[in-house]
C-alpha cells in the first residue's frame, strides 16, 4: 500500500512539475510572441514612415524635376528617352510625342559637330555613358539642332543610371542653354575686335595726319629753302656784281692815284735829275744841294705813297706781326683821320687763329670803322676780341645814332658792299655775322668764328703813338 502510494505521489509530483514547466514555457512563448508583435508593429510604422518619406521625396524630386531651371532627361541603355522635364521641352522647342519618346534622343534632338555635320547616336556622349563607355561628362559645351531647324548651344552634364546590382542601365543628363551668353560673348568679342580695329584705325589716322603734317611742314620748309636759295642766289649775283664793280672802282682809283700822284712825283724826280745834268762845275754848290734835297724829298714822298697804297690794299703788318698790331695801326689812323676815340680789348690767343680768320676780322673792323666814320656820328668806338664757348668773337660797338633794320635791305638795293660784304666774308670761313642798331642807341657789330684754341687771357690795349711806324 505504501509502495503504491509512493508511486502515485511521484507521478503527481512529476505531473505538477510538467505543468509548471509547461506554464513557464507558455509564458515565455507568450512574451516572445508579444515582443515579435511589437517589433512587427514597429516595422510597420517605420515602413509607413519610409513610404511617406519616399512619397514626399518623390514629390519634391518631381517638383524639382518639373520646376527646375535646368533641362533634365533620362534614357535607357539603348538610348530611348524615359523621362524629361518641362525645361527640356522648352529647349527642344516642342513636347515629344509618345512615338518620339520611344526614339533615341539623337533622332529627335540632334547634336552637331564643329563642322556643322550631325553626330551619330552611337558617338554621342549620352550613348557612351549609357553603355558604360564613359564614366560621366562634366560641363561639356555642345550644339543642338532642334526639330524646327534652329540651333542652340548648351552645357551638358551626364551621369550613369545604375541598377541595384550596380550595372549601368541608362543615363541621365542635365543641360542648360548658354546661347544668349555665347551670343553676348561673341558680341563682346566682336566689339573688342572692332574697338581694337577702331583704335588701330585711329592710330593709323593719327600717324597719317602726322605724316601729312610733316609732309606739309617739309613742303613749307622746302619752299622756304627754295626762297632762301633764290634770295642767296640773288645776293650772290648782286655781291658778284658789286665785287666786280668795286674792283673796277678800286682799279680806277689806283690808276688815277698812280697817274695823278705817283706819275707826277716820278716826273718831278725825272725833271730834277735832268736839271742836275745841266749843272756844271761853275754852279753854286748850294743850289746843287738844294736840287738834290728836293729830289730826295720827291723820292721819299713817292715811297710813302707806294707804302700807303700797299697798306690800303693789304697791310704788311697783318702778315708780318699779327692781327692785333694791324688793328692797332688801323685804329690809330682812324682816330687821326676822324677824331673819334677808339679802344681795343683783345686776347693774345687771337694771334693763334688761322690767317683767314685774321683777315676776316681785320676787314670787318675796317668796314665797320668806315661805316662809323660815314654814318654813325659817334664819339666813341670799342673793339673787342674774346673767346666765348669755343668760338672767337669780335664785337665793335659805337655810341652813334644807329639805323633802322631796313638799312641792310637798302644796302643791297644801293649796290654797296658794306654790311653784306662783311656777312659774306664771314660765312665763307664758316662764321656768323650779326648787327644790332636800335635808333639813338648806337650800333653793335658781332663777328663769330668757330675756334678750337686754348685759353684767352684778356688784356686792354691802346692805339700806338703816332710816331710808331711799325
**Residue 118 · residue 61 · CB < 8 Å:** no
User: Is residue 456 over pLDDT 60?
Assistant: no
- As a whole number, mean pLDDT of residues 113-130 equals 72
- The helix/strand count (H/E) of the chain reads as 13, 12
Closest of 140, 143, 148, 135 to residue 117, by C-alpha: 143
Do domains 68-177 and 322-461 share one topology? The answer is no
Q: How far is CA 7 from CA 1, 43, 56, 74, in A?
A: 10, 53, 72, 84
Vertex 282: Cα angle to 281 and 286 (nearest 5): 90
The predicted structure's pLDDT at residue 107: 42
User: Is residue 172 over pLDDT 60?
Assistant: yes
User: Is residue 411 over pLDDT 70?
Assistant: no
- Report helix, strand or coil for 261: helix
Long-range interactions of 448-452: CB distance < 8 A, separation 24+: 448/391, 448/392, 448/393, 449/353, 449/357, 449/360, 449/361, 449/391, 449/392, 450/390, 450/391, 450/392, 451/353, 451/357, 451/387, 451/390, 451/391, 451/392, 452/390
Q: Identify the architecture of domain 322-461 in CATH.
A: 2-Layer Sandwich (3.30)
Enumerate the H helices of 262-320 as residue ranges: 263-278, 285-313, 316-320
**Residue 443 · residue 397 · CB < 8 Å:** yes
User: How sure is the predictor about 382, in pLDDT bands with cuts at 50, 70 and 90?
Assistant: very high
Instruction: Give the percent of the chain with pLDDT over 70.
Output: 74
Closest of 429, 456, 445 to residue 351, by C-alpha: 456
Cell numbers that stand for 458 in this block: 684778356
Lowest mean pLDDT among 160-164, 357-361, 464-468: 464-468
Average pLDDT value over all residues in the chain: 77
Vertex 99: Cα angle to 95 and 100 (nearest 5): 50
CATH number of 68-177: 3.30.450.20
Q: Give the pLDDT confidence of 253-284 residue by residue, as tens digits.
A: 666 766 666 667 777 777 777 776 666 555 66
The domains of the chain are located at: 1-67, 68-177, 185-313, 322-461
Residue 74 CA to residue 104 CA, distance in Å, equals 11
CB atoms under 10 Å from CB of 304, counted, come to 11
The predicted structure's pLDDT at residue 114: 64
User: Is residue 459 over pLDDT 60?
Assistant: no
Which residues is 137 bridged to in the sheet?
A: 158
User: How sure is the predictor about 137, in pLDDT bands with cuts at 50, 70 and 90?
Assistant: confident
Cell numbers that stand for 52 in this block: 511617406
Across 7-41, b (16+ Cβ under 10 Å) vs e yields eeeeeeeeeeeeeeeeeeeeeeeeeeeeeeeeeee
Cβ-based neighbours of 345, under 8 Å, separated by 6 or more: 382, 383, 384, 385, 386, 458, 459, 460, 461
Lowest mean pLDDT among 89-103, 310-324, 345-359, 377-391: 89-103
Bridging pattern class, strands 168-177 and 71-76:
antiparallel
**Residue 450 · residue 431 · CB < 8 Å:** yes
Side by side, the strands of the sheet bearing 458-461 are 432-436, 443-450, 391-398, 380-388, 341-347, 458-461
**Residue 451 · residue 353 · CB < 8 Å:** yes
Lowest mean pLDDT among 171-185, 196-210, 346-360: 346-360
Residue 414 has φ and ψ, to the nearest 5°, of -85, 5
User: Is residue 116 over pLDDT 90?
Assistant: no
The predicted structure's pLDDT at residue 469: 41
Amino acid at each position: 500500500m505504501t509502495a503504491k502510494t509512493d508511486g502515485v505521489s511521484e507521478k503527481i509530483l512529476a505531473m505538477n512539475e510538467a505543468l509548471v514547466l509547461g506554464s513557464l514555457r507558455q509564458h515565455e512563448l507568450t512574451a516572445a510572441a508579444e515582443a515579435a508583435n511589437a517589433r512587427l508593429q514597429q516595422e510597420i510604422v517605420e515602413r509607413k514612415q519610409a513610404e511617406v518619406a519616399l512619397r514626399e521625396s518623390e514629390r519634391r524630386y518631381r517638383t524639382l524635376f518639373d520646376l527646375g531651371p535646368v533641362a533634365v532627361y533620362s534614357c535607357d541603355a539603348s538610348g530611348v528617352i524615359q523621362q524629361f522635364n518641362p525645361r527640356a521641352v522648352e529647349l527642344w522647342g516642342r513636347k515629344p510625342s509618345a512615338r518620339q519618346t520611344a526614339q533615341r534622343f539623337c533622332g529627335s534632338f540632334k547634336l552637331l559637330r564643329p563642322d556643322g555635320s550631325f553626330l551619330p547616336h552611337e558617338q554621342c556622349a549620352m550613348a557612351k555613358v549609357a553603355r558604360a563607355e564613359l564614366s560621366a561628362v562634366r560641363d561639356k559645351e555642345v550644339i543642338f539642332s532642334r526639330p524646327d531647324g534652329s540651333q542652340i548651344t548648351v552645357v551638358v552634364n551626364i551621369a550613369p543610371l545604375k541598377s541595384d546590382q550596380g550595372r549601368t542601365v541608362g543615363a541621365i543628363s542635365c543641360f542648360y542653354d548658354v546661347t544668349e551668353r555665347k551670343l553676348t560673348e561673341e558680341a563682346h568679342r566682336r566689339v573688342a575686335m572692332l574697338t581694337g580695329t577702331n583704335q588701330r584705325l585711329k592710330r593709323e589716322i593719327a600717324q597719317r595726319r602726322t605724316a601729312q603734317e610733316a609732309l606739309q611742314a617739309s613742303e613749307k620748309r622746302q619752299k622756304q629753302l627754295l626762297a632762301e636759295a633764290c634770295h642767296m642766289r640773288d645776293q650772290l649775283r648782286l655781291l658778284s656784281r658789286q665785287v666786280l664793280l668795286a674792283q673796277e672802282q678800286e682799279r680806277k682809283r689806283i690808276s688815277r692815284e698812280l697817274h695823278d700822284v705817283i706819275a707826277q712825283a716820278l716826273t718831278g724826280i725825272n725833271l730834277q735829275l735832268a736839271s742836275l745834268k745841266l749843272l756844271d762845275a761853275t754852279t753854286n754848290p748850294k743850289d746843287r744841294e738844294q736840287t738834290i734835297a728836293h729830289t730826295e724829298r720827291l723820292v721819299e714822298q713817292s715811297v710813302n705813297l707806294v707804302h700807303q697804297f700797299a697798306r690800303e690794299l693789304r697791310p704788311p703788318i697783318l702778315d708780318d706781326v699779327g692781327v692785333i698790331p694791324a688793328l692797332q695801326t688801323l685804329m690809330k689812323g682812324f682816330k687821326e683821320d676822324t677824331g673819334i676815340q677808339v679802344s681795343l680789348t683783345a686776347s693774345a690767343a687771337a694771334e693763334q687763329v688761322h690767317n683767314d680768320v685774321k683777315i676776316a676780322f681785320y676787314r670787318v673792323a675796317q668796314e665797320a670803322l668806315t661805316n662809323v666814320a660815314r654814318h654813325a656820328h659817334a664819339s666813341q668806338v670799342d673793339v673787342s676780341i674774346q673767346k666765348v664757348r669755343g668760338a672767337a668773337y669780335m664785337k665793335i660797338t659805337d655810341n652813334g645814332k644807329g639805323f633802322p633794320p631796313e638799312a641792310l635791305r637798302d644796302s643791297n638795293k644801293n649796290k654797296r658792299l658794306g654790311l653784306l660784304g662783311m656777312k659774306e666774308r664771314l660765312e665763307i670761313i664758316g662764321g656768323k655775322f650779326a648787327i644790332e642798331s636800335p635808333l639813338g642807341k648806337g650800333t653793335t657789330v658781332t663777328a663769330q668764328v668757330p675756334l678750337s684754341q686754348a685759353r684767352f687771357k684778356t688784356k686792354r690795349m691802346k692805339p700806338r703813338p703816332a710816331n710808331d711806324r711799325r
